[in-house]
Amino acid sequence: MKYLYYPGCAMETTGVPIQMSIDAISNVLGIEFETMKDWTCCGCPGEAINELAAVSLAARNLALAEKSDLDLVAPCSCCYRNLLGAHVILSEDRKVRAQVKEALAAAGLEYKGTVKVRTLIDVLINDVGLELIRSKVKNQLSGLKVGAYYGCHQSRPYGPDHPEFPVWQDWIVESLGAESVFFPLKAQCCGGAQLFSQRAMVTELVARLLNNAEVHGAKCIASTLCPLCFTNLDVNQGRIKNRAGSNFAMPIVAISQLMGVAFGLPPRDLGLHKNVSPVDKVLAPYLQVRI
Amino acid sequence: MYVIKEAKAFVDAVANEPGGEKINECIQCGVCSGSCTTVEWWEYPPRKLIAMIRAGMKEQVLSSASAFNCVTCYLCTVRCPRDIKPSALMHAVMAIAEREGYKPKTPTLTLFRTLRESMKRGRIWDFGMAARFYFSSNIFNGFKVMPVALALISRGLMPIMPPKPIKSGEIKAILNKVRSIQGTGGKR
Ligand code: SF4
Ligand code: SF4
């Protein structure tokens, strides 16, 4: 199984623990990633106030990806959505297509429209398969109640999982021997980049969904691979009260980190020592060494 | 007659902006407002904003911070019965407000400008972007997020030094072309 890989800017900063665990589990599962050469920002940060700029920058990356015939995997949900979104807009909208063609030509590039953009979760479910994942589990995560958190862009608006009540991460959680807990806000927004400008609003959004997961019995969150979602949940807890009225301490792990724990990989290889939320206690029964 | 013409000019401008195309097909069902993740922060929720655009209330719409509360969660878009893509419509409103120099009371406009600027390096430099944003909006808010920043910096998750610019020449060529296509010439 070989794929072209688009890490995205945040995977090199806040997403480092996620990237470490992705490397570790893909090694176990036999997934080979060829990182795109000269990839640049997907354009998503410009989307709100300049859609044409966002689509054009995404198209630059698509044009480079097109030189390979491998599927393009983007683990960050925002990158995935913006790259796929650009592909969709370019195939549907003639006016935008002409404009983007002109913009790309300024850099000597052209996008013909043939790239298949996918999430890593999609690859894990549909190419790797739960059977293979199950076969690699060394530490059954029995007794662990996990809330799978998806965020928005991994399945909204383009799918391929259900746009409002996605299930694929729950399936992965269950295949590791853990119990996946349903909570209604599992695909609610983390607040994204507005964390910087409207911190109170974003903290409230995070508080709601963590409270919701806690009320439904989750003891930890297996987050989507999006570094924005992961970080917003992981670092914002100090200011939030839980049901009991004390400050929140919900352990947040990326789903790739949880898979690594079940596969028996050393926690340091999974970047678990870099998580801000307290993950050691809840994972200790399944680890041979301390984080 | 005059009023109707003015009203039409504004709704046409929104319909001409990428994402605004379908504004005239909205049936005002309110599903977008009812779905909106952040609706309690909006002065005029999405459905109302659409009604106001169609009534030609340009000043009120573009001076309001409402659309800037959109976190681009796409709930409205997957639910809208007329396939309007209200999320894209909100982006269109933000784009026009930004371009025409309106000053809605929200730091998010500055954030989006900073983000757009930071794409020019080829890859986003989180720390530099954040510093720049707090300096140009409200430096005290920057101090308030220090604990979070330190948690990230101490774990090596927020490099203080900028990464090497990647293909920034290509990026600038593309973005300059985009700007000339949009006819916003010298303005940023
Ligand atoms: S959901 Fe769609 S049709 Fe209904 S009010 Fe919103 S934009 Fe209009
Ligand atoms: S995309 Fe924006 S307008 Fe639509 S529901 Fe989400 S926050 Fe509200």
Q: What is the ipTM of this complex?
A: 0.89
Q: Please check whether residue B24 is in contact with residue B11, taking contact to mean a CB–CB distance below 8 angstroms.
A: yes
A273 token code pair: 């020592």
The chain-wide mean pLDDT, for chain A, equals 92
Local structure of B25: helix, strand or coil: helix
Q: Which residues of chain B lie closer than 8 angstroms to A41, CB-CB? A: 119, 121-124, 171
Rounded (5°) CA angle B57-B61-B67: 150
Answer whether residue A280 is part of any domain: yes
In three-state form (DSSP H/G/I as H, E/B as E, the rest C), the secondary structure along A191-250 is CCCHHHHCHHHHHHHHHHHHHHHHHCCCCEEEECCCHHHHHHHHHCHHHCECCCCCECCC
B41, B69, B173 ranked by CB distance to A107: nearest: B173
Domain boundary, last residue among A120, A144, A177: A120
Domain boundary, last residue among A120, A142, A174: A120
What's this model's pTM, rounded to 2 decimal places? 0.91
The per-residue pLDDT for A47 is: 83
Place of tokens 């929200």: B106
B17-74 residue pLDDT tens? 888 899 999 999 999 999 999 999 999 999 999 999 999 999 999 999 999 999 999 9
**Cβ within 8 Å of residue B32, ≥6 positions away:** B45, B46, B47, B50, B76, B79, B80, B84, B86
Output the CA A191–ligand 2 centroid distance in Å: 11
Answer whether residue A138 is part of any domain: yes
Provide the pLDDT confidence category of residue A242 given band limits of 50, 70 and 90. Answer: confident
**Cβ within 8 Å of residue B154, ≥6 positions away:** none
Answer whether residue A34 is part of any domain: yes
Residue to mutate among B158, B174, B180, with most A CBs inside 10 A, is: B174
CB-based contact B74 A99, cutoff 8 Å: no
Q: Do A244 and A149 belong together in one domain?
A: yes
Q: Do A113 and A149 belong together in one domain?
A: no
Q: Do A146 and A81 belong together in one domain?
A: no
Q: Please check whether residue A71 is in contact with residue A118, taking contact to mean a CB–CB distance below 8 angstroms.
A: yes
DSSP one-letter string for B38-57: TGGG-SS-HHHHHHHHHTT-
Domain boundary, last residue among A120, A142, A169: A120
Query: Domain containing A9: what range?
Result: 2-120
Q: Which residues of chain A lie closer than 8 angstroms to B124, CB-CB? A: 9-10, 41, 45
Rounded (5°) CA angle B71-B25-B49: 40
Going by CA atoms, what residue is nearest to atom 5 of ligand 2?
Answer: B36
Range with lowest mean pLDDT among A55-69, A113-127, B114-128, B174-188? B174-188
A16 token code pair: 């480092």
Q: Which residues of chain B lie closer than 8 angstroms to A205, CB-CB? A: 37-38, 71
d(CA A279, CA A146): 12
Q: Do A145 and A281 belong together in one domain?
A: yes
The per-residue pLDDT for B185 is: 42
Q: Do A150 and A67 belong together in one domain?
A: no
| Chain B residue closest in CA terms to A236 | B148
User: Would the CB of B176 count as within 6 Å of ligand 2?
Assistant: no
A218 phi and psi angles, rounded to 5 deg: -70, 135
Identify the CATH number of the domain in which residue A211 sits. Answer: 3.40.50.11810
Taking alpha carbons only, the member of A179, A145, A175 closest to residue A262 is A175
User: Would the CB of B37 count as within 6 Å of ligand 2?
Assistant: yes
Q: Do A115 and A136 belong together in one domain?
A: no
A9, A157, A276 ranked by CB distance to B78: nearest: A157
Taking the Cβ of residue B181 and every Cβ of chain A, the question of whether any pair is shorter than 8 Å is answered with yes
Q: Do A91 and A140 belong together in one domain?
A: no
Local structure of B92: helix, strand or coil: helix
Identify which of B50, B72, B80 to mutate to test ligand 2's pocket (most ligand atoms within 8 A of the CB): B72
| Long-range contacts formed by B130-139: CB under 8 A, 24+ apart | B130/A196, B133/A196, B133/A197, B133/B107, B134/A196, B136/B110, B137/A197, B137/B107, B137/B110, B137/B111, B138/B107
DSSP one-letter string for B118-186: HGGGSS--HHHHHHHHHHHS-HHHHHHTHHHHHHHHHTTSS-SSPPPP-SHHHHHHHHHHHHHHHT-TT
Answer whether residue A255 is part of any domain: yes
Q: Do A257 and A137 belong together in one domain?
A: yes
For chain B, list the domains and their CATH numbers: 2-99 (1.10.1060.10), 107-183 (no CATH)
Identify the CATH number of the domain in which residue A8 sits. Answer: 1.20.1050.140
Taking the Cβ of residue B102 and every Cβ of chain A, the question of whether any pair is shorter than 8 Å is answered with no
Number of domains observed in the structure of chain A = 2
Answer whether residue A275 is part of any domain: yes
Answer whether residue A291 is part of any domain: no
d(CA B108, CA B88): 17
Q: Do A73 and A145 belong together in one domain?
A: no
CB-based contact B38 A193, cutoff 8 Å: no
The chain-wide mean pLDDT, for chain B, equals 88
d(CA B105, CA B107): 7
C-alpha distance from B52 to closest chain A C-alpha (Å): 20
Q: Do A201 and A141 belong together in one domain?
A: yes
The per-residue pLDDT for B2 is: 56
When comparing pLDDT for B132 and A117, which is higher? Answer: A117
Q: Do A209 and A250 belong together in one domain?
A: yes
d(CA B163, CA A13): 10
B91-111 residue pLDDT tens? 999 999 998 999 898 888 888
Q: Do A172 and A102 belong together in one domain?
A: no
A264-288 residue pLDDT tens? 999 999 999 999 999 988 998 898 8
Answer whether residue A125 is part of any domain: no
